[in-house]
Amino acid sequence: MTNSSPRPVALVTGASRGIGQAIAQRLAATHDLVLVARHADLLAAVARACEAAGATVQTLALDLRDGVAAAAALSGLQVDVLVNNAGVAVLKPFLDMTAEEWNRQVDVNVNALYHVTRAVLPGMVQRGRGHVCIIGSTAGRNTFVGGTCYTGTKHFVMGFAESLMLEVRDAGIGVSVITPGSVATELFPEGTNTAWMLEPENIADAVAFAVTAPPHMLVHRLEVRPLSPKRPRSSF
C-alpha cells in the first residue's frame, strides 16, 4: 500500500469491535486506515462507517497469531501510526485454566504484538517518523484473582513498550501505552454491571491524544480510569 494521500495512515488491530472499532472510528476523521481483525464481515461494517467519516480504508482479515501470515500481509505497508489493540482475556483461577486458554492469551496479547510491530516498524525507522501505540491495562501494574495469565501478558506490555521506546526514540518514533481501567466491552460476563465503566470511545480519545501530540512531545504512558465504581456514567 502506498500512501499518496496527505493524510497519515493508521493501522489498527482488533478493529472489528469494542475498543478497536472505537479507535478506528475516532481516527477516521484525521487518518486513512488499515483495519485488521479475524472476521471480514465485521471489518467491512467498521470500514463503511470510517469511510463515511472521510477515511480511505483497507481491511485485512488476519489471525495475528500466525506470524508468517502477519508478516506477508503487513510488511512493506507505509504506516504512520500503529495501534496494537488486539487482545483476549480468559479470567479464571490458574488451576481451572486449560493449556489452550493460556496459549491463546499469550499468542494474541504477546506474540501478535511482536508479529505486527516487527512487520511495520522498519518502515517507520527508514522514514524517520512514526508512532506505535499499545493498548495495555491497569492489570499491567496490579493483579487480581483469576488473572495469572492475563495480568502477566499486560505486565509484559508495559516492559515491552518502555524498552521499545528507548530503542527507537532517536529514530523519530514515539511509543505510547494506554492503560485503561474497566471498560464496558464483551470482556465481562453477561449480567455484569458495566454502567459505571469507561466506554470504548473514552479509550479512543486517549489514543487520539497520544498519537496527535506535537512531534517533540511523547505521551508514553496514559492511564484512564472510571471515576467511581459507585456512580453510573449517567449520573454525571
CA dist., res. 170 & res. 182, Å (int): 34
Three-class secondary structure of residue 118 per DSSP: helix
Which of 91, 150, 153, 183 is labelled catalytic? 150
Angle, CA of 203, 27 and 183, to the nearest 5°: 15
Q: Is 150 a catalytic residue?
A: yes
CA dist., res. 193 & res. 214, Å (int): 38
CB-based contacts of 167, cutoff 8 Å, min separation 6? none
Q: How many residues does the chain have?
A: 236
Q: Quick one: DSSP state of residue 25?
A: H
> Cβ distance 64 to 104 under 8 Å?
no
Three-class secondary structure of residue 194 per DSSP: coil
- The residue among 112, 164, 113, 139 whose CA lies nearest residue 223 is 139
> Cβ distance 54 to 25 under 8 Å?
no
Q: Active-site residues: which are they?
A: 150
